[in-house]
């Protein structure tokens, strides 16, 4: 199938619609790669070095019901973790970086339209444990115990979307009583899905492990002191099992989730890139053959031009010029199709700069491929003697 497609594309580069199709294929690959590269430059907003994840399985069908005994046992787990000499700090969270389960919600803004965001409920030490950067206000503390409106911390991107240049600290978001939240702090942009993701709108809501009125988070992030050996994993698991023998636990370094997540993110891009590279190679080889066939069919034309005084450079530039003109028409047509996406709001998290750069790179690669593959047949046309060309039938 790839061989058939590459043959069609190489022959099609002689036609504007074929060049446009080739440009669109290359643009899609370049856009994905440029999007990942642009995201990679931005910090993730947290540090997972020396951080372990301990997930708790309470062995019940529904997570909606927690009795006082279960809440108390969860609090005992928190205390047991903090008492370990290797532990620097720890916190509870419903979700952590690189976990597949997370919650989303929507909130009405003061200007009318609703915004979708990711929601995580975390305990007070979460920012310290992951070394998040609090840019404005503060993170959660005991000061939030007596509040009537739930306290939340936003990431910078969501704070800008909701309040623009206004100071978000102390602002209340949400129109109904059920979704009203008071902003107490802002953290730098938080990319839960890692380096290759674009990040998004993030809201952290305060959770407590000793509150009998609310379901506690079932994940612990544990920061250990530098130099803590890998044997800490087994020790932490034994501590948790001794504290809550009726529950089960999954303990692993957060780096392990990070590596697995990155592999899952990058693998499709690598596969697509390899397929596209093979396709472009086949297109190049096919284009050389198609162009050489064109040269052999135009031997008499070449001879007549040589007799009339055309130089070898003139002949070479004629064939390359014709090919590049067709390529240009195709690139223009493909670009017109591509620019419809941002005009219709279909680019999602892809920024205008990434989109424009990808178009320029894809166009440059198409021109480079066309010129490189067309040069040799064009040069061979200049080696034909006028007498030989005029005898050609």
Same domain for 71 and 105? yes
Tokens of 150: 């739930």
Same domain for 102 and 29? no
For 125-142, the pLDDT digits (tens) are 999 999 999 999 999 999
How many Å apart are CA 212 and CA 147, to the nearest integer?
17
What residue numbers bound the domain in which 24 lies? 2-42+260-391
282 has a pLDDT exceeding 80: no
pTM for the full model?
0.77
Same domain for 204 and 272? no
- Range of weakest confidence among 31-35, 279-283, 358-362: 279-283
248 has a pLDDT exceeding 70: yes
Same domain for 109 and 242? yes
How many Å apart are CA 283 and CA 59, to the nearest integer?
57
Q: Are 287 and 7 in contact (CB under 8 A)?
A: no
Same domain for 187 and 312? no
Same domain for 316 and 358? yes
Q: Residues 248, 254, 257, 261: is their CA dihedral positive or negative?
A: positive
For 170-217, the pLDDT digits (tens) are 998 876 666 788 999 999 989 988 888 887 899 999 988 777 667 788
4 has a pLDDT exceeding 50: no
DSSP-based three-state secondary structure for 270: helix
Listed in sequence order, the residues at least 6 apart from 88 whose beta carbon sits closer than 8 Å to its beta carbon are 50, 223, 224, 225
Does some domain include residue 252? no
Sequence-distant contacts of 166-172: CB under 8 A, at least 24 apart: 167/136, 168/136, 168/137, 169/136, 169/137
Listed in sequence order, the residues at least 6 apart from 139 whose beta carbon sits closer than 8 Å to its beta carbon are 124, 126, 127, 128, 132, 153, 184, 185, 187
Provide the domain count of the chain: 2
Highest mean pLDDT (candidates 55-59, 208-212, 250-254): 250-254
């Amino acid at each position: 199938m790839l061989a058939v497609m590459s043959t069609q594309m190489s022959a099609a580069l002689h036609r504007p619609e074929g060049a446009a199709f080739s440009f669109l294929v290359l643009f899609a690959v370049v856009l994905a790669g440029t999007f990942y590269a642009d995201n990679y430059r931005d910090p993730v907003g947290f540090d997972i070095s020396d951080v372990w994840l301990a997930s708790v399985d309470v062995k019940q069908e529904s997570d909606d019901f927690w009795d006082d005994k279960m809440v108390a046992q969860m609090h005992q787990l928190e205390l047991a973790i903090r008492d370990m000499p290797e532990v620097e700090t720890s916190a509870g969270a419903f979700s952590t970086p690189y976990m597949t389960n997370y919650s989303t919600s929507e909130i009405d803004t003061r200007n009318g339209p609703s915004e979708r965001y990711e929601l995580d409920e975390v305990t007070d030490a979460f920012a310290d444990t992951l070394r998040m950067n609090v840019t404005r206000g503060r993170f959660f503390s005991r000061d939030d115990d007596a509040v009537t409106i739930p306290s939340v911390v936003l990431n910078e991107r969501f704070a800008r979307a909701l309040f623009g240049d206004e100071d978000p600290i102390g602002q209340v978001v949400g129109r109904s009583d059920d979704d009203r939240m008071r902003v107490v702090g802002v953290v730098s942009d938080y990319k839960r899905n890692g380096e290759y993701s674009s990040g998004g709108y993030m809201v952290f809501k305060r959770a407590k492990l000793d509150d009998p009125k609310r379901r506690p988070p079932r994940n612990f992030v544990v920061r250990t002191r530098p130099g803590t050996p890998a044997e800490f994993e087994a020790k932490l698991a034994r501590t948790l099992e001794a504290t809550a023998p009726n529950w089960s636990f999954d303990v692993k370094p957060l780096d392990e989730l990070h590596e697995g997540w990155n592999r899952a993110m990058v693998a499709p891009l690598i596969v697509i890139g390899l397929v596209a590279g093979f396709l472009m190679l086949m297109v190049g080889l096919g284009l050389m053959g198609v162009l050489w066939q064109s040269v052999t069919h135009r031997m008499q034309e070449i001879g007549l031009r040589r007799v009339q005084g055309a130089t070898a450079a003139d002949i070479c530039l004629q064939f390359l010029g014709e090919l590049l003109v067709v390529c240009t028409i195709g690139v223009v047509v493909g670009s017109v199709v591509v620019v419809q996406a941002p005009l219709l709001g279909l680019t999602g998290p892809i920024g205008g700069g990434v989109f424009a750069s990808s178009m320029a790179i894809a166009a440059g690669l198409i021109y480079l491929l066309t010129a490189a593959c067309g040069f040799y047949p064009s040069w061979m046309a200049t080696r034909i003697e006028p007498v030989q060309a005029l005898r050609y039938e």
